[in-house]
Every structure is written in C-alpha cells, then in structure tokens.
Chains A and B, each alone.
Chain A
C-alpha cells in the first residue's frame, strides 16, 4: 500500500511569515511529486511539480525534494491571508504505474 503522509494541521502562521508544509511518502521508486492548493468547497489546483532532488522555486513558492529521505516540502514565503487553504501533496506511482497517491492535505491558516 503506497502511502503519502501529511500533517492535517491546521498550521497557523502570521501574515508575512514563511509557511512550511511537509509530506513523506513510502514508494521509494516514485519520481514525480506535486503540490496542489484546494480552497474550501473548490477543486484542487496545481501549484508546483518537482522531479529532481533539491529546490525548485516559482514566485513565493519553493518545493524541496529529498528522495533519499523520501520527503517533499513546500515553502510559502511572505504568506498572505489568501494563501489560507488546504495543501495536498501527490506522489506519482513508480514502476510504470503513474497512478498518483494524494495525502490528506495540510490546512494552512494565515492570520493578519
């Protein structure tokens, strides 16, 4: 059973701070990793994907991947109240199985 673990939160940070969201996965062969943002009552929207070890930056978002330790994280710099949402980590299956496994998501609250 492939697992993707996320702390459900909520993670509460003040406006302007860095929010750090973490995700661990069990499938050592996974190669593709995704972060989605889901506002309450809405569908997920892709924020970033990462394939290689290290950091990938896109605006205020940075994804970090460490395949040896089997974790992927998402940093949100200068957090804004509009960033308040649930952040879903998704891991693509390995061995020809592209089927993605999602974590249950971490609820982020950015307070003014």
Chain B
C-alpha cells in the first residue's frame, strides 16, 4: 500500500457528461500527477500539480482540468466525455520539489467507462 487513495474505484458515465475524480496524496507529499492508462497501453501523463499550481501538462485537451487543495489532495475533472476517455485514471504523489519523479507512488486508480 502506498498511502495514496483515489475515489471512486469505478465509474460509468455517458458521452457528453462531466466527471470528477479525486486523489489523496501520501502524507508529506506535495506533488500530485495524473495519468490516463488505456487498456494495453502505458500511462499517459495528463498534468502535475505542485503546491496548488499546475506544474506541467501532457498532450491532453483543455476539457481535462485539475485542482490541488491546500492539503495537497487533488481533483481531475473531465468535461464533455468521449468514448475514448474510457481508461484507468491514475494519481501519483511524490514528495519532491516538483522537478523529478523519482519518488512517485501510484494510487489504486479509478476505472472510468464512457458509454
């Protein structure tokens, strides 16, 4: 167990809806990264938050947005859901300065299905 928690575990939505996924980072960690992992693929970096500021973004459209709160927990919001958004969404926390990923610990993930 890494101490990183995510909710919900599973979620089913329909195309066009909006979804919010949540992540609580490991105690003492101030950096949270979000990844999308499609079936049979490696995780794709969505964005990272460090001390409540977005600190890097992957090749995802603006309908993917996020927040980090003062307690370093985080949310991932996806608007206008598309079928291709169906994936495992992973949150990873690290206690670094935000410039390295060498202490990154993943949560259990949220499985999102878009119908």
Contact = CB atoms under 8 A, between A and B. Distances in A.
Contact of B42 (A43, A97, A103): A103
Interface residues of A, number: 24
Interface in A15-42: 32, 34, 42
Interface residues of B, number: 24
* Among all A-B residue pairs, the 9 with the closest Cβ atoms: A102-B42, A43-B106, A104-B42, A102-B43, A43-B109, A100-B101, A44-B106, A99-B45, A49-B102
Interface of A: 4, 6, 8, 32, 34, 42-46, 49, 88, 90, 92, 96-105
Interface of B: 2, 35, 40-45, 48, 56, 58, 88, 90, 98-102, 104-109
Given A43-B106, A92-B100, A104-B42, 13 more contacts: A32-B101, A32-B102, A34-B101, A43-B107, A46-B104, A98-B99, A98-B101, A100-B101, A102-B35, A102-B43, A102-B44, A103-B42, A104-B41
